[in-house]
Structures are given as structure tokens and as C-alpha cells.
Amino acid sequence: MLLGILKETAPGETRVALLPENLKTLIAQGISVTVESGAGVSAGASDAAYREAGASVTVDRGFILANADLLPLVTAPDAADQARLKLHAVVLGFLKPLEAPQALAAAIARPVTLFSMELVPRISRAQSMDALSSMATVAGYKAVIAAADRLPRLFPMLITAAGTIPPARVFVIGAGVAGLQAIATARRLGAVVEAFDVRAAAGEQVRSLGAKFLDVDLGGIATEGGGGYAAELTEEALDRGRDLITRTAAHSDVIVTTAQVPGRPAPRLIRRAAVEAMRPGSVLVDLAAPAGGNCELTQPGVTQTIAGVTLLAPLNLPAEVPVDASHLYARNILNFLALIVKKGELTLDLADEVLAGACVAHEGSPVNPRVAKMLEAVSAPTG
């Protein structure tokens, strides 16, 4: 069996799906590994390091696509690459099946198996494969570093002979995986941190990191959906959150916003008035930008200055930390591979809860019902 490691082609992507250090257990099972030259270079892994780990290296991307039985990736291959996949190959990565199912249409139509790391169920057994959490952790950290870099102030309180500098005030909206890491990072840098989340359960976690949890009366509605995620709120409840955010923005130097509701566009929580209420020089990092953004002024991927406030809307912060992001992601991939490869052979038990949840398509048909429905809607004749 051949496992292929490709150089990622998405603009700005620097991560790699597996590092040389991950190959030992695969090669010990008799699996051959071929790496596209340069695949790991941004993540600190040279071609020579892959060779030393027992892989072969080629510049021939087409060879890997045509011959790999297993193709772990960071992001989805483009349509041309999809059309070249080996029959019955297994492809896994952040394939964005719900965001952009039509971009996967060529692969879905082929007799291959596609697993999406976004769809790995977030159950205890699959925690070690939870790449969304790994990348959210990296993004939460990097968002605060990016904000600290832009802010024309210091984060920690300084008491010096030349006077006292007050600590920066950071407001984190959405205290899930990314938000909690943003809080921890801002605290380590010495900022005073406040946080808001609609899930009451987040309060304890926020306080345990030394930040203040801002409670708001949402009218007693259910704010938690399944699996520890937030539920979609009513417009009235959202408005109460928006009011709190506008009030808190006025005394915040930095806002890091991460609020998401699975499968929905990001909730619009930050009004223009909240941005305008911030002091000039303040920084807002909208980590929900890939899902449209939490701020009504956000333009995903674009940095703006509005009333003197810098608004960052990064689409791929983990790619700015490629070594450690790849390290974490590759461990998630390796743990997933352990579910589908036993003693060097592919064993696809699609009745397994984790595999069933993560499977987008198998042997030419969509398996995920939401993907199937979306593709049907796209291909249905109109009028």
C-alpha cells in the first residue's frame, strides 16, 4: 500500500499532513510512503528528513495522485487533482464538505473514499483525532499575538521609574476552544481579560483562567445545543449580547471574537457602533471570519482600519504557525489512520461511529446526507 504526502496547493497554506516523525509506525506496517518534494519545507521538514524517515521523495505530483492508496491532506485537492485520484483511494483532510460541496464534486463522483476532518464526531473516543480543536487552539493563541503586535500599547502592567503603564484590556467573545486559548495567552502576556459566551458552562472555565466572565440575562432560553455547542439564539437574545458587547468594547483595547454555531453562518454580534466605541489604535480580531464573521464590518481575509480601529479577519491563522500546527494536525491524522489501517491493510468499517461521521463519500456516492442534499440542490434543474 502506498501513502502519499502532497505539497498543499491552497493559497497561503504552509502546513503538511504528516511529518517525518510520524512515518515510523506506518512504515513498520509495510506501508510505502512517497512525498512530493518540498511538501514539508514550510513546516520545518526537508525532503532529506522524509528520506531519512524511510520515505521516497518525488517531484512528480501526478505519480502520487495516480498511485497513492492513502492520501492524507490538509486541504481539499483541486478538481484537476481530484480527477487523477487512484481508484479506491482513501483521501482525508479538511475537505470543507458542508461549506463547498460542489468543489468536491469531481472526487465524490469517483470510486474513492473521502473523510473530512471537520466531520470527525466530537466524542471522547475521537478526541485524539479532533483536528478542529487542535487548529482552534493554535488560532486562539495566534490571534492574541497578532493583536499584541498591532496594538500601540503594551499588554502587561509596568511599574517603572518613568511611570506606570496600565495593563491592556482584552475582551474575548466565545469561550470555546479558540476563545479559551486566547484568554490563556492574553493572561500570560499580562492583560486584564473579560469574556462572554452564551453557554453558562463556559463561565467556570473562563474564571479558572483568571478572566472575568460577563453574564448577560438572555431571557432564560436554551443556549446549549448538542455536544457542548451553542444553540442558535433568537434575535432578541442576540440583541442582549450585542448590547453587552457594545458596552464592553468601549473600555477594551483588544477584542478577539470566536463565536460560532455549528453548521450556521457566524452570529453577527459586533455592531459598527461597538467598533466605533473602541479607542483609536484598538484591535479587533474576528476569528469567525471563515464563517462570515462576528462583526458586521468584517470582510473575510481583509484587514481594515475603521475609526482608527484595526479589524483583522484572518482566514487561516494556523498556517502562520506551520511547524506546531502541522505537528498537532499530523498527530490527529495519524490517530485517524490507526482506525482505518490495520497491519498495513485498509480496513474501512463504515459502521464505526467515527468513520461514519467523518465519511463524505464512498465509492462514487455521497455518504453524508447533508452533502448529498446540497449536491442534489446544485444539480437540480431550475425554473
Nearer to ligand NAD by Cβ, of 70 and 136: the residue is 136
Phi, psi for residue 10 in degrees, rounded to 5: -65, 140
285: nearest Cα among 249, 247, 311, 248: 311
Q: How far is the CB of 202 from ligand NAD (least distance, A)?
A: 5
Does position 225 interact with ligand NAD (CB under 6 A)? The reply is no
Q: How far is the CB of 157 from ligand NAD (least distance, A)?
A: 28
Is 29 among the residues known to form the active site? no
Residue 377 neighbours by CB distance under 10 Å: 10
Nearer to ligand NAD by Cβ, of 146 and 195: the residue is 195
- Please pick, among 51, 56, 78, 127, the residue that the annotation labels catalytic: 127
Q: How far is the CB of 9 from ligand NAD (least distance, A)?
A: 26
In contact, 84 and 103? CB cutoff 8 Å: no
Piece of the chain touching ligand NAD by CB under 6 A; list 30-38, 52-60, 65-73, 224-232? 224-232
Per DSSP, the residues of 260-285 read --TTSPPP--B-HHHHHHSPTT-EEE
Pick from 13, 36, 194, 197 the residue near ligand NAD by CB under 6 A.
197
Nearer to ligand NAD by Cβ, of 113 and 294: the residue is 294
Give the single-character DSSP code of 145.
H
Instruction: List the interface residues with ligand NAD, window 244-273 (CB under 6 A).
Output: 258-262, 267, 269
- Please pick, among 81, 130, 197, 253, the residue that the annotation labels catalytic: 130
Does position 122 interact with ligand NAD (CB under 6 A)? The reply is yes
Alpha helices in the chain (DSSP H): 24-28, 47-52, 61-67, 79-82, 105-108, 131-150, 177-188, 202-208, 235-249, 272-277, 322-340, 353-358, 369-379
Q: How far is the CB of 227 from ligand NAD (least distance, A)?
A: 6
Integer Cα distance of 221 and 290 in angstroms: 27
Count of residues that interact with ligand NAD, criterion CB under 6 A: 31
In contact, 256 and 170? CB cutoff 8 Å: yes
Phi, psi for residue 158 in degrees, rounded to 5: -125, 130
Is 122 among the residues known to form the active site? yes
Give the single-character DSSP code of 230.
B
Pick from 70, 71, 144, 230 the residue near ligand NAD by CB under 6 A.
230
Integer Cα distance of 120 and 371 in angstroms: 15
Instruction: List the interface residues with ligand NAD, window 136-195 (CB under 6 A).
Output: 136, 173-179
Integer Cα distance of 206 and 83 in angstroms: 47
Pick from 150, 187, 188, 199 the residue near ligand NAD by CB under 6 A.
199
Is 329 among the residues known to form the active site? no
- Residues binding ligand NAD (CB under 6 A): 122, 127, 130, 132-133, 136, 173-179, 196-199, 202, 228-230, 233, 238, 241, 258-262, 267, 269
Active site residues: 122, 127, 130, 133, 229
